[in-house]
Each structure stands twice: as structure tokens, then as C-alpha cells.
Amino acid sequence: MSSELHEVAIEPAEEHAVRALFEATSAAWSDGDGGAFAGRYARDATVILPGVHLRGREGIHSAMGAAFAGPLKDSRRVHTTESVRFPTPDVAVVITRSVTVFAGEAEPPADRWELATWTLVRRDGEWLVEAYHSSPAGTPG
């Protein structure tokens, strides 16, 4: 088995399409739309957050719909892309620094930022989140 790193050359339009997925999920979050948010995830997607494991698009829809109606009401999600790579033409691995900004906050506290790994797949021409995992980023420095 080879340990060589294999990546494929991707057109800038594909990276743009991947980044557009983050804009769409952030917009759905800001709108409090659990259906639109979960619609960007694969049917069998996995989401792992500290202490939480969500399974499948329906599980994500249910959990996020409740969160948008409750503790995440009127919040927004901010993602700063650290890296995007394409192991194959239809798979992207994206690393972000992400944070939830709650209603009334100008800036979130530094200790709320997360590091996240997103595994995206392209199915029928559409990029979807297959797996998401986040953990606290810690404070810079």
C-alpha cells in the first residue's frame, strides 16, 4: 500500500461550487430553515459535534430544526476556509474555522471558534456534505 498523497487537479469552478455550499448552509442557518440546511447533507450523512452524533439527513433536519427554534434562534454561522483539497474529482475535504454568532453579538468570543473537517461528495452534479466533524479550536497563540 502506498502512502503517497494523491490529489487531482480541479478547475477553479469546482472549488467555487464547493465554497458555494458553505454560503448556502450559512444562509439556511441564518434563516432558521432546518429543511434547507439539512438538504445540503447526503441522505446518509454523519455529523459529529462534541458530545453529539447525528445520523442521516432526517436526523440532522430534526435536530437542527429544533435548535433553530430554540437555542440557535436568530443566530448565524461563519466559516473561514483553511483548506480545500480534492482526493478524487467527486470528493472534497474542507477544513474550516467556524463559529456561531448569536443574536445581539457583534463578535463571538475567541473560545467559541471550532475547527471542522467536512467531507463533501458530488452526486448528480451537486455537492453534498457526507460527513462533518468539529472540535473546539482553542485560543490562538
Domain count within the chain: 1
Q: Name residues whose C-beta falls within 8 Å of residue 104's C-beta, 6 or more positions apart in sequence.
A: none
Q: Which residues of 106-132 are buried (b: 16+ CB within 10 A; e: fewer)?
A: eeeeeeebbebebbbbbeeeebbbbbb
Q: Is residue 67 part of a domain?
A: yes
Q: Is residue 1 part of a domain?
A: no
Query: What residue numbers bound the domain in which 37 lies?
Result: 12-136
Helix, strand, coil shares of the chain as percentages rounded to 5?
30, 40, 30
Q: Is residue 123 part of a domain?
A: yes
Question: What is the separation of C-alpha 5 from the centre of its chain, rounded to a whole number of angstroms?
Answer: 24
Read off the pTM: 0.88
Q: Is residue 17 part of a domain?
A: yes
Q: Is residue 27 part of a domain?
A: yes
Q: Is residue 33 part of a domain?
A: yes
- Residues counted in the chain: 141
CATH number at residue 126: 3.10.450.50
pLDDT (tens, 9 = 90+) of the chain, 141 residues, equals 444 555 666 777 888 899 899 999 999 999 999 999 999 999 999 999 999 999 999 999 999 999 999 999 999 999 999 999 999 999 999 999 999 999 999 999 999 999 999 999 999 999 999 999 999 997 665
